[in-house]
Structure 1
Amino acid sequence: MSELASESSALIIDVHGHYTTAPGEHQAFRDAQLARLADPSMPSPNPARISDDAIRDSIETTQLAMLRQRGGDFMIFSPRAAGMEHHVPDAVTAREWARASNDLVHRVVELFPDHFAGACQLPQTPGGTLDDSVSELRRCVEELGFVGANLNPDPSGGHWTSPPLTDEYWFPLYEALVDLDVPAMIHVSSSCNPAAHTLGAHYLNADTTAFMQLLQGDLFGRFPTLRFVIPHGGGAVPYHWGRYRGLADRMGRPPLSEHLMTNVFFDTCVYHQAGIDLLHRVIGADNILFASEMFGAVRGIDPETGHHWDDTKRYIDNLDMSGVDRAKIMAGNARRVYPRLDKLLAR
């Protein structure tokens, strides 16, 4: 067993958590922001003043309680994905909202340092520059100790007006990610397109679309150490792996194992056993990171099993695989893909 796998054999790291249980005052600040955009005569709102006790109450009985109950140890935690709302075009508003959201996550990490590490929201806007995103990424990593970021490939919210992820438009952000040695989870926000439901269509469409964009280009030839995590099990990709292998061959691209899979990883936010079985069989243990997105899109209990849909550890426990592979999925891969997290845990 490798040293990293050995160190991680008893550790369980969830790489995909969102602050969906944030105190209501934070959303009230957002509502005030949007109200002022609609009526500029209104005063500019300030971020909510939220007490430590309110943050503890929002975490101890929800995210942390469930993490412990399900046998988890640590979670990479970021602002609520649907709440990023990058479709709002005002750059100042986006910057202030991202900063307030990231500062709130940082306070969670400070209050519960043994269980959470931060991943940041970027202040993206449709067609806007990435200058503010680079600045906020650097602030969160260098000053707040965050270990990753969420990158929205479609700030328009379901209308796909941005260039593909292989376009030079994104290169300033990639350069910062590489320089800081942090990965990005490719995660869209709320859908503004009534034809694409946010949770059931837009999220999974984006996962699949992002993978195809990467397949078409040669981004990792330019940025060989850039790393992406595609959530929700990779959308439709594992189920159609033969299609993507065939398209790569048709387009003259190298095999996927060489072209993408040194840099692209999938998480386990797949909410049934058959889906996890397929993900493991097709993608393999080296490119899978354990995650649940608990208190996220799919809450409640599956009537067929009697267990919570998002108790993804249960599905991993049922997989027939070696202890080495299990350690990779549950923690080792996370520590490899998020090296700042590995250093944090080592300390």
Structure 2
Amino acid sequence: MTIDAWAQHPTLRHATDPIFDSLRRWTRSEAPTEELPVSLTVGVMDQGGVDQALISAWYKPNVTMISNDDVAGFVEQAPDRLVGVGSVDITKPMDAVREIRRCVDELGFAAIRVLPWLWEVPPTDARFYPIYATCVELDVPFCTQIGHTGPLMSSEVGRPIYLDRVALDFPELRIVAGHIGYPWTDEAIAVATKHENVFIDTSAYTAKRYPSQLVDYLRSNGRTKVLFGTNYPMITPAKCLEHLDDLGLDDETRRLFLHDNAARVFKL
């Protein structure tokens, strides 16, 4: 079984947002012109052998790209395949706390994800701290992005070392840091190794492009710390996994990477 730790079923608002124009140059893809059916995402999961995908809401300043209610509606159409991940507007911390509670208690979401680059502040910003505390209280992971940004926004806020301070202040908080952390992958590995509850997911990268130090970590003391992710629809699961056999993972490590680590961290 395979779990995709980082995906989204895009709304048309999300898919056509100008912030992704630079990514479309990378992927050589055109923006859709109509809403995509959930059956399309499930079909792509089937093609890549993915059993479950954690799909997230997206909020940026003054814009709702994928709402939490959108995500709940998508999950309702494929409840055995899609798992909801909520998001919030960090500029209104108390509203954010209330929305996180709604996401978990009413919508049944498994995690909360906020991307620092969308807000142009690092994850040590004070506005994140009520979010962390609420995630700890509700026992759900906090998911975030590390590494450079494909969209034309500042990458500095994605330095993995910022999560060192967060993990020190919130040792109970399970943190899933997506996108490998490149070009600071060594930094990401150091933080994940230091802190029991910090994990790395491989979203936005195909297996062929995993940095060598991440592969070495995955094969050794990081086998319980790395989760498979795609960043679909940017990359399909089949494309992400195309060269997985080339990594030389033993059966146990492969199972941990593709399924068991995510199942444990997200309590699936």
Quote the residue 1:280 is aligned against.
215
Distance 1:155 1:313, change over 3 A: closer
Pair 1:182-2:157 in alignment: no
Q: How far does residue 310 in structure 1 lie from its aligned partner after superposition?
A: 6.7
Distance in 2, matches of 1:119 and 1:311, equals 23
The partner residue of 2:110 within 141, 144, 147 is 147
1:262-301 residue pairs with structure 2 within 5 A? Answer: 262-269=196-203, 270-271=205-206, 273-275=208-210, 277-282=212-217, 284-296=222-234
Distance 1:18 1:205, change over 3 A: farther
Distance in 2, matches of 1:234 and 1:204, equals 10
Pair 1:115-2:62 in alignment: no
The TM-score with structure 1 as length reference comes to 0.62
Identity within the alignment, %: 25
Corresponding residue SS for 2:231: coil
Pair 1:199-2:150 in alignment: yes
Pair 1:335-2:248 in alignment: no
Quote the residue 1:58 is aligned against.
37
Aligned residue pairs total 246
The partner residue of 2:68 within 96, 102, 119 is 102
Q: How far does residue 148 in structure 1 lie from its aligned partner after superposition?
A: 0.7
Distance 1:286 1:293, change over 3 A: same
1:115-264 residue pairs with structure 2 within 5 A? Answer: 115-124=81-90, 128-156=91-119, 160=120, 162=121, 164-187=122-145, 199=150, 202=153, 205-207=156-158, 209=159, 211-215=160-164, 217=165, 219-238=166-185, 241=186, 244=187, 256=191, 259-260=194-195, 262-264=196-198
1:66-105 residue pairs with structure 2 within 5 A? Answer: 66-79=44-57, 81=58, 84=59, 86-88=60-62, 97=64, 101-105=67-71
Q: CA RMSD, aligned part only?
A: 3.2
Unaligned stretches of 5+ residues in structure 2? 18-33
Quote the residue 1:301 is aligned against.
none
Distance 1:101 1:63, change over 3 A: same
Corresponding residue SS for 1:314: coil
Quote the residue 2:6 is aligned against.
16
**Between structures 1 and 2, the one with greater helix share:** 1
The answer (yes or no) to whether the contact 2:49–2:237 under 8 Å persists in 1 is no
The answer (yes or no) to whether the contact 2:124–2:162 under 8 Å persists in 1 is yes
The answer (yes or no) to whether the contact 1:276–1:316 under 8 Å persists in 2 is no
Distance 1:116 1:256, change over 3 A: closer
Q: How far does residue 110 in structure 1 lie from its aligned partner after superposition?
A: 1.0
Q: How far does residue 185 in structure 1 lie from its aligned partner after superposition?
A: 1.3
Unaligned stretches of 5+ residues in structure 1? 1-10, 31-53, 89-93, 189-195, 246-254, 299-307, 343-347
The answer (yes or no) to whether the contact 1:227–1:264 under 8 Å persists in 2 is yes
Q: How far does residue 258 in structure 1 lie from its aligned partner after superposition?
A: 5.6
The answer (yes or no) to whether the contact 2:201–2:227 under 8 Å persists in 1 is yes
The TM-score with structure 2 as length reference comes to 0.79
